[in-house]
Structure 1
């Protein structure tokens, strides 16, 4: 089963104890949100983004698809952009779980995750990610909302993993772990956005080795 710990703590995403509510929303009194209802909203939003595109993924459409009232959706997500990001976040956590410590050395885990990301970019995941980022920029003037609600947690976790490899000597690359992370994932996203060259899992693994210079 995928590790959902990377999205379960994020704003707007339902947790086992019914937590959530966006970073842009104040605490609310009343009955905790239903896990089933929240998941239905998020799954419907992602399904609509993937099948009909962002323009057609309105709050009205999500409400109809999930059989949940618009009032309930707006109570839990104060903006359409926040809902779209959280729907993408939930799907990404299932498709690209953060690599657990038990799955190998930091470099091994980095290879595995980068390869999975490269593969995911070739399907609907890549198209939805790019569309959500574009939506944030067009509506707010920046991708800050996407970074705050989705990317920061995942970036922080992988930067910490790279730094651990530098500390234990299994990663020989010098320099800030943040820069090494950006060199890997920035390169993959740049190539994907502009279609410069095919992105394959093999290319991603080789890129990790070139950037991180793992020992052995």
Structure 2
């Protein structure tokens, strides 16, 4: 008997667990998902699940990011305003989708579980902040904004309204809102290169 013959079945079970977990997250939300429910939907035992994941939180994160993670393109239109608009618009469309609700639940769960918070921040928010940093750096290189710009602060100023609406008001952010947010945040940074 080939010793590797069980591997494909094992990987198939793992894939089924991840898919079942993601579907349950969309249907029931993070709070409604249980290991028992995942096992039943995936057609596996709880023992099989615990072979790969120590708890529901770690499995939920893996399932969510396995289903939603993509290569994040860095907008490069030649304009810092347009680049930021594209990035924020992509994020707001994601936030306004059912997947955005899951992110909100992850944020809530992270208030009680610091390790969980560290994981979703590193996998979701850190890559997006790096993109913002690149956009600002290019704006500096193109002489659009001032060299001493506090990039971290202005990134917060632009993205804070989106997450305020996600977590507090529940309101949708439209394209016109995004443009106003970016214009307001950059108003003191944009250099008038027509002035001598």
Regarding TM over 0.5, the answer is: yes
Counterpart contact for 1:136–1:142, Cα < 8 Å:
yes
* CA distance, structure 2, for counterparts of residue 118 and residue 83 of structure 1: 25
- Residue 125 of structure 1 is matched in structure 2 by 99
Normalised by the length of structure 1, the TM-score is 0.67
Q: How far has the Cα of 1:181 moved from its partner?
A: 1.4
Structure 2 residue aligned with 1:200: 174
Post-superposition offset of 1:114:
0.6
How far the C-alpha of 1:152 sits from its partner, in A, is 1.9
Residue in structure 1 matched with residue 137 of structure 2 by the alignment: 163
**CA distance in structure 1 between the partners assigned to 2:54 and 2:134 by the alignment:** 32
Q: Deviations over 1:143-165 (max 9, x none)?
A: 33322343223322332332232
Q: State whether residues 160 and 177 of structure 1, in contact with CA within 8 Å, keep that contact through their aligned partners in structure 2.
A: no
Aligned to 1:104: 77
Larger Rg: 2
1:176 aligns with 2:150: yes
Please provide the CA RMSD for this pair: 3.2
CA 1:128–1:142 in structure 2 vs 1: closer, same or farther (change >3 Å)?
Answer: closer
Name stretches of at least 5 consecutive residues in structure 2 with no aligned partner.
1-6
Cα distance in 1 for residues equivalent to 2:132 and 2:52: 29
- Paired residues, number: 182
Provide Cα deviations, 1:79-103, integer angstroms capped at 9, x if missing partner: 3222222333344435xx52235x5
How far 1:131 moved relative to its partner? 1.0
**Of Structure 1 and Structure 2, which has the larger fraction of its residues in helix?**
2
Residues 3-39 of structure 1, C-alpha deviation per residue, up to 9 Å, x if partnerless? xxxxxxxxxxxxxxxxxxxxxxxxxxxx6983x6554
Q: What is the alpha-carbon distance in structure 1 between the residues aligned to residue 134 and residue 48 of structure 2?
A: 37
CA displacement, residues 188-213 of structure 1 (integer Å, 9 cap, x when unaligned): 10122221754213312332233245
Extract unaligned runs of 5+ from structure 1. 1-30
Q: How does 1:27-106 map to 2 (within 5 A)?
A: 34=11, 37-94=13-70, 98-100=72-74, 103-105=76-78, 106=80
Distance of 1:172 and 1:48 partners within structure 2: 47
Partner residue in 2 for 1:143:
117
Cα distance in 1 for residues equivalent to 2:129 and 2:14: 25
